[in-house]
Amino acid sequence: MDRLKTFGKYALLLIGFFILSNFLIFIGINSNYDEITPMADVPAQVEITRAEATLVNGRMSGIIKNSSDNDLNGKYIRINLFSEQGNILGTKFLQITDMAPDAQEEFNTYFEVKEVEHYTIEITNEVEQVEGSLLDVFTNEELTSYAIISALVLLIIL
């Protein structure tokens, strides 16, 4: 019986340590993000809810509002990232499809580029030719879930 109690104590300590470490990691990572500011006015049909960057990466999320007056279906949202000096660091095109009139849709995008300070958002009718290296700075948002699952599998194996 004593061995079972000892095992239970260790299990509770391990679970407590896991919860505490995840909480501290979450606080540590999210405290490194600073807000990045727009260089120009954001179109009225796009509302940016979060635009943050660290020294090496960042994230942006917002809401796209489709209106019957100005239908956005088939158009693209162009996101440009800029340094403090105004140099363009990256570009991403988000395609808008299958939005009903007067509907709203959330978007999230992540990027891996250093020292982003500003951004611009534009609505365009087509994807414009952009230097290849400027498109490579954006990452797939699904990679985050794969990284978490991989880490959990690694913990289980070890």
Whether residue 142 is predicted with pLDDT greater than 60 in this model: the reply is no
Domain, as residue range, for 12: 2-31
Q: Are residues 23 and 40 in the same domain?
A: no
Q: Are residues 62 and 106 in the same domain?
A: yes
Q: Are residues 88 and 141 in the same domain?
A: yes
- What is 37-73 written as a DSSP string? EESSPPPTTEEEEEEEE-SS-EEEEEEEE--SSS--T
Count of domains forming the chain: 2
Judged by DSSP in three states, 19 sits in helix
For residue 126, being part of any structural domain is answered with yes
For residue 152, being part of any structural domain is answered with no
Whether residue 60 is predicted with pLDDT greater than 80 in this model: the reply is yes
pLDDT, mean over the chain: 84
Q: Are residues 19 and 49 in the same domain?
A: no
Please indicate, yes or no, whether the overall pTM of this predicted structure exceeds 0.75: no
For residue 155, being part of any structural domain is answered with no
Q: Are residues 22 and 97 in the same domain?
A: no
Whether residue 153 is predicted with pLDDT greater than 80 in this model: the reply is no
Cα(65)–Cα(71) distance, integer angstroms: 9
State residue 121's pLDDT score. 93
Alpha helix (H) ranges present in the chain? Answer: 2-30, 132-135, 143-157
C-alpha 21, offset from chain centre: 23
For residue 67, being part of any structural domain is answered with yes
For residue 153, being part of any structural domain is answered with no
Residue with tokens 């978490």: 148
Q: What is the pLDDT of residues 9-27, one digit of tens each?
A: 999 999 999 999 988 888 8
Q: Are residues 7 and 54 in the same domain?
A: no
Q: Are residues 27 and 51 in the same domain?
A: no
Pairing of strands 118-124, 37-38: parallel
